[in-house]
Structure formats: structure tokens, C-alpha cells
Structure 1
Amino acid sequence: MTTPNHLSAAEAVSDTAPDRCAVDTVEIARVARLVEAMSGELDKLFSHQEIEDAGQGPGRIASLAARFAAKEACLKLFPRETALNTITAMDFSVVKDEYGAPHISVTPAAEIVLGRHLVAEIKISLTHSETTATAVALRIQRTIKPSWGGRFIFRWLPYRRKVILENLNRVYGANVEASQIDLLAQAHYGHLLKLLKELIQFRFLSAARKKSIVRVEGVPGMIEAFEAGRGILILTGHFGNFEVSTVAGIEHFPQVKGRIHFLRRPIKPKWLSDLLTRRFNQAGFGVVGRRGSLEEIVSTIEAGDAIVFPFDQYARRPEGIEVEFFGQAAGTYKSMAVIAMATGAPVIPAASWREPDGTHVLKFFAPLKPLLDDDVGQEIIKNTRAYNQAIELSIVRHPEQWWWVHRRWKNQKPRR
């Protein structure tokens, strides 16, 4: 389980008051009956850590009851998603910090829900008497603070502002105020301004300086995946300053230079396409054209190399299929699931983001578990949906740093 603590440069929580409170009380005797009836299946009610923290002493049932109340209180903070079964009690668990204070940890599904409400964290308070256990849960909102440049561009140079606001409203409009949407759009423009500045400055930095401004996480897992020899599919999107983080990040594990290949569409004019290809090649990356390249992709995977698959762009038929993305149908590439099923290559999500101090992080996550189905078509849809969910998770962690200017839901009318 993960805790949603991936706050970006545009966000702060230290001065933010709770925007919603929920309280739940349960009878300890009721929880005792549940524990007795499900003695061998407590993992259906509590996480392994919660069961371990409750111990085996006389206070065990009261401790479990307080945790049960905490889960219910958390669900009350998100009544719509709870009613739709988007989240369940098992998406929340109580963990202790080094001082013994309780905190809420959430699963990826719940983290996406929190992110779409712009909730930075849930604070929890637990107590119990001889007969009842009570939990109080507080939602702490993210405070979005756009830069001056972002506010200026939003007002005076509104490049694709309508598209950005439509996209933001699809994801956040049902959960937050319109003023928050505007602030997030302004923060996004600030990100684009920083991105342009960084791309210009990056060309003039020394190799040592380029390497120092990027921190790479998950390298051991990537090296292990390369050593397995089955090839790798890297699932990613347009997060942060991806060009800076990848070009500088590969210097942290130079042993894979020449073995990572970016999949991208050909662009016009040809000289620009050639320039970008040359820059990637100089940095130690290969480039594979997206169209008509299935044989080349499979050959690259079978050779044990990695294909970087930007997965957050609109895909029209026949390459794309309609799959849910942030609760709405979106044309999504099916080829990644097909290739993964055909080759057995692991799918490893990756994302990059800018830290408040201006440095960058490139992170490789654990491989996604393949979802199996007797129906091949359904298996493709299930895995493609899982890939979209991995993209959603990276977006809500640093929402202003995703590419909101892209028409991800092309041909889908905006929700009112």
C-alpha cells in the first residue's frame, strides 16, 4: 500500500484546513463476533500490518475495532465513490509512524480517488471506551499555488486554454470548485514555462551537471528485468520534463545505453523528426516508429531490450480501443497489451516529475501483474485498463506536470 505523499512544487498542505470530516463508531462486541467468525480470513477485513499491530493481548479486539471504524470513516469522506464501489474498506488501512501515531495508508485505487478530489492526505484520530471504538477522519486539501508566469500566461497568452480546462474538468470538475480548476490550469502553464526554460538551459550544461539534476529511482529492478532477458515494455506518459529526466537519467545506469528504444510517431517536417531522432541516439537511446513497426518492436523485445511506450495519447481505430480513463471512454492503444501477451515481456510503469528545488526524478515502478482471461479480447481490455490506471496514478500525484494540452478524450463530449 502507498501513502499519497507525492506533493509537487505547486502544492503545500502545512497551512491547509480540513475541508471535510467524518466520524464512525462501532461496537467492540460486534467486531469481536466478526473476528471470531472470520478467524482464518481476517485479511478480508484488515491489512497484514493492522493485524500485526493489534497484537495478541487483551486490547487486540479494541485495537481492531478502532481500525475498522477508521476504514468506515474514510469511506464516508468519499460517498459517491463508495456507493459506486470504486473504493472499499480494504483500500484504507491504519499504520503507525515511528512515534506510534496513527496514519492512513491507501491503495492505488484510493490514491486516484483522493487525487481527483485534490486531497493531499487523510488525518485520523482513534479512541475507544470499554464498549465502543471511534475514529475521526479529516480530509486535507492540496493548496495549489501557481507561479507568476503561470498566472500571466493563463490570462494573456492562453495557448489551448479551452482544451486544458475541458480536460481538467473531465478529471476534477465533479469533485472540486471551478476556482481550483483555474488554479490548476495556471500551475500547468507555469510548468510549461519551466519546461521550455529547462530545455534551453539543458543544452549548455556539463555532463556532470546534467547527471546531478536528476535522481533515478527503481534502477535495481530495471537492471534485474534486463538480466532476465525477456525484454521490457516501459509504460509511461508525458510527465514532468521527460526529455531532461531520461537523457540525464540514463547516465545513472550507463550499462543499458543502446538497449532502450523510444516508440514515437513520425512528425513533420522531416528535418525536425531527424533532429529529435539524432538527439535521442546521441544520448544512448534508440527510436522506433510507431506506425507499421510491430515486427521491429517484437524483434527488439525478443532481443532482450526495452521499448518505451508513451501511453497517454489518443488512439483512433484500428490501433485504439475505447477503454476507461479517469471514468470516461478514451481511445487507447491496444498494441501494448497484445505485445505483452505475445512476448511475455514485463510491463514496467515509469514517470518523471520536477521537485520543488528544481531537480528532477525519474522513477521505475514494480512490473504490473498480467491480468488473464479466457477471452483474448477481454484480456486485452483488462490489461489496457490497468495500464491506463497506472497513468492515472502518476497524473494525480503531480497533476500540473502532465500534458493537459493534448486532446486525450477526442470525439468525447465534455461532461457538464
Structure 2
Amino acid sequence: MLYYVLKAISFVACLLPRGVCELLGLALGNLAWLVIPGKRKQLAVNQIKKCLGADEAEAVRIAKASTVRFGPMLFEVLRFPVIKKDPEQYVHIEGLEKMQAALADGRGGVIAAAHSGNWELLGGAFAMAGVPLVGVAMKQKDSAADRFINEYRTMIGMHITYKTGVREMFAMLKKGWFIGLIMDQDTTIKDGVILDFFGQPTNCTPGAASMARFQDVPIFPSFMHRDEHGRHTLVIQDAIYVEKTADKREDIRRTTQIINKAIEAHVRKYPEEWFWLHDRWKSLREEYGTERE
């Protein structure tokens, strides 16, 4: 039933003017801020204060803005059928020629992104611009929601695989595809590598560096920013290549640190657009009783 409800809401959203959907999204986002548990809000505020050195008032403002933006983001996903008809009205891409050069060499690559801006539209923007993209997704708990979001991802050109589909990712890389990875979420201590992020030890996922080193392909840090008029700018940074030495672990560690510094720089520039509600230091807290100093 949920699948058909989402389809119906999407149908209506596609009929409504863009400005009306923006207002509805902002209203939904503000409502979400009101119902989010206070403990989760405080987590976001504390992370902002620690990472950015902001005072209480500024941290609350950033946390709220970071949450409210999910409303307009949701409506943009619901309007994918409209966006795909004229994507340049919604997204401007800077640095696309860097990826095109990699494609011309007959190689794919890895896109290292973050939960900043509309990351769903980020993947779609690449696909609609002609970049063969494999979006690596986490399976939704609700099968209807999972069916809906993956249908809309493929609608705008992405090929979707789940995080468990590692063999498929490597097979697609060999065929010249790009693998899109979100690099800023906490992972298990066993699977992660502890690096510097916002001046504090942070458990980071090494997937992009590990994959790129094994396949000898470039990594492109790529981030989305939304302006006050609702138009996105997708910036593709210079390629990062994993140096291959006898110390594989250090090669991966060093490259993952470079990626994390790129993410940190983007978040510092656009703090309202990052997902501060995510408990970024949870695994370290659970492993050591507190974030490591």
C-alpha cells in the first residue's frame, strides 16, 4: 500500500508548480524538526559545537536548517519524473570534463560523496549527464519504500546495487562504470579505519580507497550545494589516485584521510546542508565508552 501512496503523492507533486512544492517541503521540514526527539536534536547541536566551535544559538540554527532541508529534498525526489525532462534547470555541474577524461581512457572510477545537499539528486545528475553510475544503496526496512526509491533512482539513469553487492561493483568497474559511495557515515570498528575528522579521531569507511587501489581507478570527491533559489551546483573535484606501495593498509589509510579532509572542507563551507542528526561518533563511543581524545 505504501508504494502506491508514494506514487500518488509523486504524481500530485509533479503536477504542482515548483515553487508550491518548495513551500510544502519547507513546511514538512519544519514539522519534522518539531517532532524529532530532543535527545537527537541535542546530539546534533553538540556535534556542531564540537566540530565547528559554534555557540549554542548558532549550533541550534544549523541543526534546524540541516533538518528542515529534508522537506524540499524529499519533494525533489518525488519530482524526479519532471526533473529528468530538463535536469539542467535543477543542477549545474562543474568539472564534468574530469570524469569524461577518465571515461575516454576506458576506465571507470569511484565517486566519493557525502550526506550533504541532495545526495539522491547528486547520483541522478551524474547519470543524466551521461556518466554510467552504480549507486550503492542501503536496503530500506520497508519493502514498499525500498521499491519506490530504487524505481526512482533507476528512472533517472542510475544502476542500483546494495552494499552487499561487492562482486557486482567490481564487475561494473571493470566495464568502465563509476561507483558512487557515500563516505561520511559511521561504520563498525572492525570495518573502519580511525582517522582525523574535524580534529578528532573518527571511525571512517575505507571502501573508496580500497576499491580504487585494487582496480587502479581514480576517485572523484563530489559534493552538491543548493542555493537560495533552489538550484543545485554539483562540484567534481580533482581526481585522487591511491599510491601503491608495499604497505597496502597505509595506502588505503592515507587516501581515506584525503577524502575525509575534502568532506570536512565542504561541510565547513556549507554546514547547514550536512546530516548532523547522524550519530557520527557512535562506534567509538560504544567501543571505548567515549569519543577518543
> If the TM-score is normalised by the length of the shorter chain, which range does it land in?
0.7 to 0.9
Contact 1:233 1:345 in 2 (8 A): yes
Equivalent AA in structure 2 for residue 186 of structure 1: K
Match of 2:109 among 208, 227, 232: 232
1:372 shift after superposition: 5.2
Output the TM-score relative to the length of structure 2: 0.79
Instruction: Output the CA distance in 2 between the equivalents of 1:153 and 1:166.
Output: 22
* Mapped pair 1:211 → 2:88: yes
Give, in angstroms, the shift of residue 161 of structure 1. Answer: 0.8
For the residue of structure 2 that corresponds to 1:406, the secondary structure is coil
Q: 1:196 offset after TM fit, Å?
A: 3.2
Segments of 5+ residues of structure 2 without an aligned counterpart are 1-25
Specify whether residues 151 and 362 from structure 1 end up closer, same or farther in structure 2 by C-alpha distance, changes over 3 A only.
Answer: closer
Alpha-carbon distance, 1:396 to partner? 1.3
Following superposition, the deviation at residue 318 of structure 1 comes to 3.0
How far the C-alpha of 1:397 sits from its partner, in A, is: 1.6
The structure where strand makes up a greater share of residues is 1
Q: Distance in 2 between matches of 1:286 and 1:250?
A: 9
User: As a proportion of its length, which structure holds more helix?
Assistant: 2
Tell me which residue corresponds to 2:215.
343
1:269 to 142, 145, 153: 142
SS of equivalent residue, structure 1 residue 205: helix
Task: Confirm or deny that 1:184 pairs with 2:62.
Answer: yes
Q: What is the distance in 2 between the residues matched to 1:151 and 1:267?
A: 21
- Matched to 1:220, the amino acid is E
Contact kept in structure 2, 1:238 and 1:402, CA below 8 Å: yes
State the AA in 1 paired with 2:66. Answer: H
Q: Hey, what's the Cα distance between the residues in 1 that align with 2:239 and 2:270?
A: 21
Matches within 5 A, 1:319-334: 319-334=191-206
Match of 2:13 in 1: none
Paired letter, 2:76: E
Return the offset for 1:240: 0.9
Counterpart of 2:253 (choices 370, 378, 381) is 381
Secondary structure of 1:300 counterpart = helix
| Secondary structure at the counterpart of residue 195 of structure 2 | strand
Identify the residue that residue 17 of structure 1 maps to in structure 2: none
Report how many residues are paired: 261
Tell me: CA distance 1:206–1:295, structure 2 relative to 1, closer, same or farther (3 Å): closer
Name the structure 1 match of 2:225. 353
Give me the identity figure in percent: 21
Partner of 1:163: 43
**Residue 369 of structure 1, CA deviation:** 4.2
Q: Name the residue aligned to 2:124.
A: 247
Q: Normalized against structure 1, the TM-score is what? A: 0.57
More relative contact order, 1 or 2 (CA 8 Å, 6+ apart): 2
Rounded Cα–Cα distance in structure 2 between residues aligned with 1:197 and 1:278: 16
CA deviation map 1:92-132 (0-9, x unaligned) = xxxxxxxxxxxxxxxxxxxxxxxxxxxxxxxxxxxxxxxxx
Instruction: Give the deviation of 1:186 after TM superposition.
Output: 2.5
Query: SS state of the match for residue 223, structure 1?
Result: helix
Are 1:279 and 2:159 matched, yes or no? no
- Given that residues 83 and 90 in structure 2 are in contact (C-alpha distance below 8 angstroms), is that contact kept between their aligned partners in structure 1? no
| 1:241 CA displacement | 1.5
1:13-412 → structure 2 map (5 Å cutoff): 156-159=34-37, 160-172=40-52, 175-200=53-78, 202-203=79-80, 205=82, 207-248=84-125, 250-251=127-128, 253-254=129-130, 256=131, 259-291=132-164, 293-371=165-243, 373-411=245-283, 412=285
Structure 1 counterpart SS, 2:69: helix
Aligned-partner Cα distance in 2 for 1:238–1:284: 20
**Are the equivalent residues in 1 in contact too, given 2:48–2:276 (CA < 8 A)?**
yes
> How far apart, CA to CA, are the structure 2 residues paired with 1:151 and 1:306?
32
Per-residue deviation, 1:347: 0.4
Query: 1:360 is matched by which residue type in structure 2?
Result: H
Query: Is the 2:123–2:135 Cα contact (8 Å) retained in structure 1?
Result: no
Q: CA RMSD in A?
A: 2.7
Q: What code does the residue aligned with 2:45 have?
A: L
Corresponding residue SS for 2:107: coil
Instruction: Give the direction of change, closer, same or farther, for the CA distance of 1:206–1:372 in structure 2 (3 Å limit).
Output: closer
